[in-house]
Each structure stands twice: as structure tokens, then as C-alpha cells.
Amino acid sequence: MSDAHKIGAVRGTGFGDWIDRDGRLIFVEKTIRTVPYGFLGVIFSVYLEKLGFSPFAIGIVLTATVLSSALYTFVVSFVADRIGRRKTLVFFALTDFVAGTLLFVSTNWWAPVLAGIVGNMTVGAGEVGPFLLLEQAILPRTSSSNRRTLAFSVYNLVGYGASSIGALLAGLPTYVGYAPLFIGYMISGLVGAALYSSLSRNVEPDPGAARRSVLSPRGRPIVAKLSALFAVDSFGGGFIGQSILSYYFHLRFGLDLATLGAIFFATQLVTALSFLLAERIARRIGLLRTMVFTHVPSNVLLIVVAFAPTPLSAVFLLLCRQSLSQMDVPTRQSYVMSIVDEPDRTAAAGLTSTTRTVSSSISPSLAGYALTNLWLGTPLVAAGALKLAYDFLIYRNFRRVRPPEER
């Protein structure tokens, strides 16, 4: 889609006037997909414990889920533009259906392990994987450049909003068992496949882009440096994925599933509401500054959570942290897509996402070990320190690299 076409397609003032039909379909699918991710992020570790897994084994399983997603992401970075973005998205939506089916049909130890590997739930690290990389590459084509950050903000808002609803549903197993939630996960995969099938040809790369090298000479150093820095951030983030945090509150304060679901409903809701504010801040101070200046205080708050003496104070600090911690997500996505050329976007999204995913896959095992053998607050302190180091490094290295609209 040309810039003129995109600008014409997004004129207007109502919701949806600034983004085309493909963008709206992606928002709908993001919503449907992340409701199950929301409750899986809360229940998965507790479910594994009920099946007899130790904390260290739970960390290993979470690592396996993230590593499998990293492998998918890496492969998709090279092949998606050649075989088609729509076909790739449909395929991975169906793998979610398969994962939900495995969880539903068996309570043997291998079923959740295989489901985590086959599917893309990546419950230890938030949503990563092929869905995120392809939708990240598609979204800039659905709106004009001056609405790109807004598109990513709404994209993350609907995702976290849906995830918060999913987290609230995590209390259901107390009353009706796990089966209804696993069925919901299965259905979300089928609906996702149908929605992706209805995307237009505009989501595909320009003719010839699929036949070029994966990254242009201009894009390679940018993506390499970003990938290395994102790896530091994600390695820290892997210590405090939602499943790990949920398990931390379960061990530290003895909270049950219903209470954990309510807590993470609130955190996801606060996070979702922060995204539109992120877009407004970015318009005033720029994308990179928004990424860093909101991230630093959130990481300080994360460290303080580890020292909170009561569940009430810990939850309050966590909510304060969540009001800031994810503002860098839409701004980061918009920033990466803006400083690379359009033909490089799938590869840039895929390779940076792969390094994020691989680095975050190591941390859950270490967090599980720390929860078993060290002070319970160790994962939170480690995550906060690593993320602060990332904030300093990315600002130092990219403070002079500006998106076209900020020059």
C-alpha cells in the first residue's frame, strides 16, 4: 500500500478511520488470542505443580515453551515473506488449537510440556513469537506514518486488555476445573485461523522483497545492535514473566488462584491503559526517550516489590510498576519499524524478537532455581538490575538515531 493510499485510508476522526480493515482484523485477533494467554500465564505454573512438577522443573518447562517460540520466530524471519504472511499466521493459529487440545485430553506430565512446545503461549515471558513478529511487520502498512505509534499502542492496549480478562478467568478452576479454559484456548486457535484467512493481499510484502536478501546492508548493523541490547532487557524480563510472578506471590504470600487472577487482572488492566498515554508522551519527547524515561522508574519499583513485607504493599508496588513498565513496548515496536526500511521490517521484527525470546528463555530456569534454593526476592532484584543496565545502554547507543517524523 502506498503512502498516499494509506493516508487516504486513514482520514477521519472516529475509531477505525485512521486504520484500514486489515489493521482492525489484527486488533480483533489479538484480542481473541490473548484472552487464553492471560489465564495461562496465571494458572500454568500452578497447574504444573498440581501435576507433581517441582519449582525447578516448572522453570525448565517454561524455558522449553519460550525456546520453541524462539525457534519458530527465527525460522519465520527467513521464510514468511516467501511463503506468505497470511499462510504463516494461519498455520500458527492452528498450532494453538493443537496445544489446547493436548491440555484438554490428557493430564499426563507430557501433555502440558508438549503443548508448551507445540503452541505459542510462551506463558513465562508474555506474548512473543511468530504472531508478534508478523503483526509487527504488517501494522505499519495499515496506517499512515504519523499514526504508526498509535497503531502499536492500540495493538498492545487490546492485547493487554484481553489478557487482563483472561487473568480474571484464572479463578475458574477452583469451581469448574481446568477443562473449560483449555477448550477456550482451542477455540481461540480456530477463530484466529479464520480471521487470518480473511486478511487482504496488502499485508504481504512488496513484490521482489521476498526474493531479496534477508536484511539490507543498511539494516544489518542497526538490527545487530538492537538485538544485542534487547537480549539484555529480555534476559532480565524472563526472571519476572507472569507465570514466575504468579508463582512468586503463591509461594511468598500463599495466595490462591482466584486471588492471583484478580491481581493479574488489575496489573494487565493498568498496563493496557498506559499504552495510549505512551503514544501521547512519545509525540512530545520522542520514541526513544519515552522508552527509557518510563522504564527506569518501573525497574526501581520492581526491585522494591521484592522487599514488600505484606501482600497488600507488594500488590500496590506492582501496580505502580505496571503503570510504567510496558510503555516502552509500543514505542519500541514503532521505533524499530521506523528506523529500518520497509523491506527489512519482517526480518528486523523477527531477528530482534528471536534474540529477545532466546535470552528470556534462560531466565525462568534460573528463577525456578532461585525460588527453590535462594531468597525468594532474587528473581525480582535480578530482573530490575538487568533492565536498568539495558536502559542506560540503549539510550547511550541510539540517542542520535531518530525516526523520520522526529528529524
pLDDT in tens, 272-281: 788 878 888 9
> How many whole angstroms from its chain centre is CA 402?
24
Q: Does residue 16 have a pLDDT over 50? A: yes
Full-model pTM? 0.75
Q: What number is the average pLDDT over the span 399-406? A: 83
Segment 381-393 mean pLDDT: 95
The pLDDT score that the predictor gives to residue 2 is 40
For residue 256, pLDDT over 90 is answered with no
Which pLDDT score is estimated for 211? 52
pLDDT at 209: 53
Percent of the chain past pLDDT 90, that is, above it, reads 32
Q: How far is CA 78 from CA 14, 72, 211, in A?
A: 37, 10, 11
Q: Is the pLDDT of residue 73 over 50?
A: yes
**Mean pLDDT in residue range 23-40:** 91
pLDDT at 267: 84
Amino acid at site 390: Y
> 246 or 229, which is more confident?
229
The mean pLDDT of 149-169, rounded to a whole number, is 85
What is the arithmetic mean of pLDDT over 29-34?
A: 92
Provide, rounded to the nearest whole percent, the portion of the chain with pLDDT above 70.
Answer: 92
Q: CA angle, 189 as apex, 183 and 195 as ends, to 5°?
A: 135
Query: Which is higher by pLDDT, 352 or 62?
Result: 352
**pLDDT, average across residues 20-42:** 90
Task: Look up residue 213 and give its DSSP letter.
Answer: -
- pLDDT-derived band at 95 (thresholds 50, 70, 90) equals very high
Domain residue limits, the chain: 3-406
Q: Report whether pLDDT(370) > 90.
A: no
Summarised one tens digit per residue, pLDDT across range 167-220 is 788 888 888 889 999 999 999 999 999 999 999 998 888 765 555 556 778 888
User: Is residue 25 pLDDT above 50, yes or no?
Assistant: yes
pLDDT 10s digits, 112-128: 999 988 887 765 444 66
pLDDT band at 14 (very low <50, low <70, confident <90, very high): low
**Mean pLDDT across 354-359:** 83
Quote the CA–CA distance of 243 and 2 in Å, as a whole number: 42
Contact 133, 346 (CB under 8 A): yes
Using the predicted structure, report yes or no on whether residue 164 has a pLDDT greater than 90: no
- Number of Cβ within 10 Å of residue 383's Cβ equals 26
Looking at the domain covering 3-406, what would its CATH class be? mainly alpha
> Cell digits for 100?
489446547
Instruction: Choose between 135 and 65: higher pLDDT.
Output: 135
Task: Dig out the grid coordinates for 213 from the structure.
Answer: 536478501
CA angle 290, 325, 136 (to 5 degrees): 70
pLDDT at 287 over 80: yes
Assign 242 a pLDDT band (cuts: 50, 70, 90). Answer: confident
The rounded distance, in Å, linking the Cα atoms of 56 and 40 is 19
Instruction: Over range 240-264, report the average pLDDT.
Output: 83
- The cell for 226 is 538492537
The pLDDT tens digits of the residues spanning 290-320 come to 999 999 999 999 999 999 999 999 999 999 9
| Mean pLDDT score across all residues of the chain | 84
Residue 143: its pLDDT value, please? 82
Of 284, 277, 298, 274, nearest to 391 by C-alpha is 298
